Structure 1
Amino acid sequence: MDNIAGKKSALTWAVHLSAAALVLLWLLPTLGLFISSFRSGDQIAGSGWWMSLSAQEQQLPPIRISGEEVERDGKFVIEGRLFDNENSAISAWGTNVNRPTEFLPGAVADLGDGLYLQVNEVGGYTLTSATSLKDVRMPRIFTTATTPPEFTTDNYFNIFNNPSAGQSIGQAFLNTMTVAIPATIIPILIAAFAAYALAWMDFPGRALLIAAIVGLLVVPLQLALIPLLNFHNNIGIGKGYMGIWMAHTGFGLPLAIYLLRNYMVGLPRDIIENAKVDGATDFQIFTKIILPLSFPALASFAIFQFLWTWNDLLVALVFLGTGNDQLVLTGTLVNLMGSRGGDWEILSASAFVSIAVPLVVFFALQRYLVRGLLAGSVK
């Protein structure tokens, strides 16, 4: 009775839970990166993104007292503020690295030699001495403060408008777009013509070509990088956008032809034969019948090719270069990790910029992805 048609399988709940788990595994890191890209560096270092909506208690870096002394009631006084954030509230403070929470806000600390220090809850401090403070080494203050949630768009402003902070992320973004868009369109155009010929046109050696294309799917691209670069240099292309477009086209064509050919073979033969009977040429059949019907396969390959070229680093370094005006986003992110590894707000904003466009492309075309991948698998 368990296999009666129409009855749900007992494993349906397991399938649903597995799908939900996979969605969460993909969604949570993306959401965390998006939230972190709007937080300050101190808050990223002090707490996880899931605590971004709650106030955070963290130990701030030590701050050395500075300021001009004034004489007041026979004593010398220096006053100031530890930080500019008026919303932060100090919960404890100290003057010794081993006892950073020794005093409560408002308490007066005896530093010896007639020095007295008081720090209030909002970060204001008062250093008092019976003698002049000009030759006295100012003490450092260690604070533990509670800061409210803080979100800012300055991270994105910095990476696009401040070259010293963002290391030309804006230029890298344009470079990546210049590489990815043509490197996606060119192989699709070539592969569509080749797939139609292999699917519906009879000519000698067609089976051998199909076998060769299948064999090229398993060839590692790393083996072809240096020979292909030498070939580009010999024919005058060298390093540049034309060279990287041709490289991505060559590496993407086997999968594109294989995917599109499998899809086109599964199209109804009657439609093509009727068109030929009506006098349509192969080019007219291809442009007016095959291409519109093959859009799911075209879209699925476009997703793969665009994601590959957008996230590529190796091919870009070999065929484009490593200059600041040539680096793509992945190369710039590698440089940021090396030179600005502590600026988590810059890294998170830059990383989210690098995945924003692929996310838009994927969600715009994802409904065609499964249909295209299943092309030719069933009859």
Structure 2
Amino acid sequence: MISGSKTKSPLMWVVHLSVLMLVLLWTLPTIGLFVSSIRDKDQLAVSGWWTALFSSEQNVIGRSVDPEDQVFKDGLYVLQGNVLEQDGNSGTIKAFGWRAQEPAAFKVGETADMRRDRKMTVESDGSYTITQPEEWTGKRGKRIFYTIETPPIFTLDNYREVLTAEGIGQSFVNSLTVTIPSTVIPILIAAFASYALAWMHFPGRAVLIAVVVGLLVVPLQMSLIPLLRLYNGVGSFFGVPAKTYLGIWLAHTGFGLPLAVYLLRNYISELPREIIESARVDGASHFDIFVKIILPLSFPALASFAIFQFLWVWNDLLVAMVFLGNTEDQLVLTGRLREMLGSRGGNWEILTASAFITIIVPLGVFFTLQRYLVRGLLAGSVKGG
């Protein structure tokens, strides 16, 4: 009989491969967003982020020098120049053409026969020669279609353009002003409530727990307008202005409390009963037990909820527009980037850089607290023997 075998079962390999696939599925979009945000805007417009490390090709339409710059040589009127220098491009030309239907009909160095006995030659470095027996007329140069291959270009200009946009710094501060209190306040309230629902016996406790579970399924969009009307009514009674940070703090606290109470109550209720009973025997009050025992032991659950709440509030736009408004001194980061994209939404480089800027802070919070996430989410899922 063989025991203690170190070989893994096929099921374990399937589990590991499944987890790896899920990690890749969640990580690849973030990597693609970052790579796109540091690419040259011209390359970003014609190729995907997965080609960022390779040379890219694109078809370009250029023009020769003006006919007034023609020279007469060997019985022909000649237009000469460098199409890459004229267009401000860099790279190597792979093919060219003189018709829009065939932009890459000829290889570099070949002579293309055009109408009216015209001939065109384009070299890989962009230099060209166009000749014809008769004198060139007109005011514009002749069109040159060419395929250019450019090496990978990475730049921080996209971030400079976004970060130097007017009002972006104030919006960043506004987002922090909204997010930090909207994360801390529900955690404090939910921690006290969770301890009461887990370890204090009072009439109606089971009903309150059922109400908390029921509130988890209430859509934010359905309760947003009633909550706004209630806040405006109470605010007008006490003389509180409508569009203030207090309103959005209370809104995010109300929307985040059900999940916070649910997570923390499950975690706190599974803490060892012996520790709490020993503290009571020593004469500790509920407040002392909560502050000195429950809070330190509940840090994984607190951190797991803090991650979710921070991400929700930081990425929020709807609640911020309703409770805070769109004034210049109160606009949050998501609102500022939305306005920027509204006027320049066709600029992919602005879109990718803006999107990555919005996730930098949440990523920092997540990686700081992620080791507590699984422990907090699995709280209460396994009963002790």
Instruction: Report the TM-score range of the alignment, normalised by the length of the smaller protein.
Output: 0.7 to 0.9
Query: The residue matched to 2:88 in structure 1 has which SS?
Result: coil
State how 1:26-175 maps to structure 2 within 5 Å.
26-60=26-60, 62-65=61-64, 69-70=68-69, 72=71, 79-82=81-84, 83-86=87-90, 88-107=91-110, 118-125=121-128, 135-163=138-166, 168-175=167-174
Identity %: 60
- Give me the whole-angstrom Cα distance separating, in 2, the residues matched to 1:285 and 1:190: 16
- Give me the whole-angstrom Cα distance separating, in 2, the residues matched to 1:24 and 1:131: 63
Task: Spell out, residue by residue over 1:120-154, the C-alpha distance to the aligned partner (whole angstroms, 9 max, x if none).
Answer: 32224456678876743322222201111111111
Partner of 2:222: 223
CA contact (8 A) 1:229 1:238 kept: no
CA contact (8 A) 2:171 2:330 kept: yes
2:298 matches 1:297: no
2:291 matches 1:287: yes
CA contact (8 A) 1:59 1:145 kept: yes
- Give me the whole-angstrom Cα distance separating, in 2, the residues matched to 1:102 and 1:5: 66
- Give me the whole-angstrom Cα distance separating, in 1, the residues matched to 2:336 and 2:137: 47
Partner of 1:196: 195
- Give the partner amino acid of 1:250: G
Query: The residue matched to 2:107 in structure 1 has which SS?
Result: coil
What CA RMSD, in Å, does the superposition of the two structures yield over aligned residues?
3.1
Query: The residue matched to 1:188 in structure 2 has which SS?
Result: helix
Partner of 1:240: 244
Partner of 2:323: 319
- Give me the whole-angstrom Cα distance separating, in 1, the residues matched to 2:102 and 2:162: 38
Q: TM-score, normalised by structure 2?
A: 0.85
Task: Name the count of aligned residue pairs.
Answer: 373
Query: The residue matched to 1:238 in structure 2 has which SS?
Result: coil
2:178 matches 1:179: yes
Give ranges in structure 2 of 5+ residues lacking alignment. none
Counterparts in 2 of 1:286 and 1:136: CA distance versus 1, 3 Å? same
CA contact (8 A) 1:53 1:149 kept: yes
Displacement of 1:247 in angstroms is: 0.4
Task: Spell out, residue by residue over 1:243-283, the C-alpha distance to the aligned partner (whole angstroms, 9 max, x if none).
Answer: 11110000001111121111111112222222233232322
Tell me which moved more, 254-263 or 229-238: 229-238
Partner of 1:269: 273
- Give me the whole-angstrom Cα distance separating, in 2, the residues matched to 1:262 and 1:143: 66
Task: Spell out, residue by residue over 1:173-218, the C-alpha distance to the aligned partner (whole angstroms, 9 max, x if none).
Answer: 3332222222111111111111122222233332222222222112
CA contact (8 A) 2:67 2:140 kept: no
Counterparts in 2 of 1:76 and 1:123: CA distance versus 1, 3 Å? closer
CA contact (8 A) 1:182 1:245 kept: yes
CA contact (8 A) 1:69 1:76 kept: no
Displacement of 1:104 in angstroms is: 3.2
Displacement of 1:117 in angstroms is: 5.0
CA contact (8 A) 1:90 1:144 kept: yes
